[in-house]
Amino acid sequence: MKIIYQHLPSVEIAGRKLVGNVLFGLLVLLSAAVGTAIGLLLVYSTDLPQVEELERYRPSSVTELYDGQGRVIGTFALQRRVIASYDDYPQVLRNALISIEDKDFYRHSGINISRIVGAAYRDIESGGRVQGASTLTMQLARNLFLSPDRSFYRKVQEALLAIQIERRFTKPQIFTLYANQIFLGHGAYGFEAASEFYFSKPARQLKLEEAALLAGLPKAPQYYSPINHPERALKRRNLVLNAMLEDGKITAVQAADAKSKPILLDLQKDPNSLAPHYVEEIRRYLEAKYGSDQVHEGGLRVYTSLDMNLQKSARQALLDGLAAYERRHGWHGKLLNVIAQGQKLDKYEDPDWDAEPEIDGYMHALVTQTSPSAAEIRIGQHTAALSQADVAWTKLKLPEILHPGDIVYIKVLSLDAGGKSRVILEQDSGTEGALVAIDNTTGEIKAMVGGRDFNLSKFNRATQALRQVGSSFKPYVYTAVIDQGGSPDDTILDAPVTFQTASGPYSPHNYDAKFEGTITLRRALAQSRNIPALKLADRVGIKTVIEYAHRFGITSNIPAYLPVALGSAEITPLEQTAAFSVFPNDGVRVAPRYITKVTDYEGRILEEDFSDIKDVVSSRTARVMTSMLREVVLHGTAVAAAKMPYPLAGKTGTTNDFTDAWFVGFSPALTCGVWIGYDEKKSLGEKETGSRAALPIWMQFMTVALAGKDPGEFQPVPDQGNTAVAQKKVDTQDVAPGDGETH
């Protein structure tokens, strides 16, 4: 048998060996790649957060304060965010966001391979870092769990988290989480908060062009800000509209119509600006009880006693009253000039300009240029001109008082859409004031103004300022007398008297330096006569008078000196106002309160405040005192209020040297107290009494507060016989009187 060997060509053998080697090498590389990938996945997933946390996740949200009608009057937040559901976001917004950010959102499983490959190619080509290609789910993962850097390591983690999120949550749930979380500029987080901030309306009411504007913000909220960069925002909005057109979400006609519209913003007013001192009181209380984190991140719902309409009226009345006072005392000048401080006119920004000007509002403005006949001023984005007629009350020529760079205080009379506004010159010489209004029956604080300008001073003069109350203290003297059997028709001698004291004789006098002889207690209180008040206080004992004041809710330490009867005691406007509400409330004191209820984010009640009620004096005493205080309005020191068509009562108060002016008065339903003065012990000026400085403010507020409502009637005074009031001289401490209205 013959065996024949057939030899393969050497080239073919070599080729087969090469293929084998290549295949082996590829297998090795593939194994290495798979091993590396597995290793990288293990490494990158080691520190990944647990996606299960999302099931319990609740983003930081705004704590909102509501007035008695459910209107927002304030917020506390580290991030302005309003949590909304999937259905709260309209289809037009969903379409806009998905078209520009993630076209395949409803089809992919967390990552978009084609976008990743394309983005990687562009990064390699440009030599840049890994960027772009993020789906909404990946963006959500980054915002919730990861740092904002753009490293390859973070991108892998982002993709892994996105896949886990997609496995555990539905698309609507993912969209809602994203829409509530994303930052959209100017402190707004989430599309609901952004819609309210930029357009002052909920997201469900967004128009196409508005939805497209918001959808364009996630890419770069600061860069595309419609406030700071409207031209960029417009281009970005139109890009979103183009993307929606390409995706068939809108028609060409709809796209063209939306593109033709300018950006029209309706920026949300800061709710805290309505009652800033009131809101600050609540913040301090809540933080002390629940902690700062819960207050600023927990989304509490705080139901307050405030009435937004009454608060607006209170603020307007106080500012108008201060303006009237300033005009009575002429132009002081001494304006701050920004040029003198080395600032440029076009760079100056005033804190008042953080909020949009309001008609009849008071704020600061910058003088940009002057001429003999006019001064041009700037108020944020608005401009206006002051003419000689607008400064006529100063009795000076315009060029004498205003210069470029001056910061002036003005009142806005009208606002023009083109930027031009109508204003008049006012003055802020440092006078301050406070106003408090309380519901007699419930004790609810309906309005509170703690000062002229919260931006300039956070000090709440309604609750923190201890001021001498002047003759508004006298009702406690008369209450003690009436409660011990006295009658308003009893008589007392208004004549010169000297009280012997350890320091020597003390001879008080009345404000008008006159004496009326024998008068009734009713007239003595109505005309605020000093000597009868001192005699009565001496008769019942000054300690007894002070004890009555404390019964009414006055907590201040009051020294037991006879002149305290004339108002040298220092009391806050809130306490004095709450105390006076006892009279129309039939002798019952209802403690003032700010909050009616607090709930947590889930709606569970954390606290519910009920009125703290206490009997102070008999109903007879309260009704008699109400009738006597009614006489103050009808024929006494507050007679200016007699023209008001409501049953009203109250008491004026003025201190030595006219440093404090008061009026505290009430209707059957509402008690209001007004104080005017300087923060330092400084005179308001000659004859700036409570009836002149404070009463007009009270009247302006009460006119609005009672308009269109049933004012009610005071309870009738029970029948009683006259009781003579003994009169005698007694020793007193030699202390100067505290009342300037009738001293």
Catalytic residues: 101, 471
As beta bridge partners, residue 64 has 75, 301
Q: Which residues sit opposite 517 in a β-bridge? A: 494
Q: Which helix H or strand E contains 576, and what residues bound it?
A: helix 573-580
Contact 664, 580 (CB under 8 A): yes
441 DSSP 8-state letter: T
| Six token digits for residue 118 | 């394309």
**Which of 98, 33, 388, 437 minimizes the C-alpha distance to 246?**
98
Distance CA 549, CA 462 (A): 19
CA distance 329 to 338: 26
Q: Is 121 helix (H, G, I), strand (E, B) or coil?
A: helix
359: part of which helix (H) or strand (E)? none
Q: Residue 667 contacts by C-beta under 8 Å, 6 or more apart in sequence?
A: 584, 646, 647, 648, 702, 706, 711, 712
End-to-end CA, the chain: 152
Sequence-distant (≥ 6) Cβ neighbours of residue 459 within 8 angstroms:
450, 451, 465, 679
As to burial, measured by CB atoms within 10 angstroms (0-12 exposed, 13-18 middle, 19+ buried), residue 611 is: middle
Work out the angle between the directed axes of helices 530-540 and 474-483 (0-180°, nearest 10).
50
E strands, 416-475, are 420-426, 431-439, 445-449, 467-468
Which residues share a beta bridge with 302? 65, 598
CB 677 within 8 A of CB 432: yes
Listed residue (1, 190, 156, 178) closest to 77, CA to CA: 190
Q: What distance in Å separates the CA atoms of residue 162 and residue 429, rounded to the nearest whole number?
A: 61
Closest CA to 174 of 206, 146, 141: 141
Cα separation, 31 vs 39, in Å, equals: 12
Q: Cα–chain-centroid distance for residue 53?
A: 35
- 407 phi/psi in degrees, rounded to 5: -95, 115
Q: Which amino acid is at 93?
A: L
Sign of CA dihedral 597, 600, 603, 606: negative
Sequence-ordered strand ranges (E) for 552-654: 570-571, 588-590, 595-599, 605-608, 613-615, 649-654
Residue 501 CA to residue 52 CA, distance in Å, equals 81
Question: Which residue type occupies 690?
Answer: G
Q: Please say whether the beta carbons of 440 and 585 come within 8 A.
A: yes
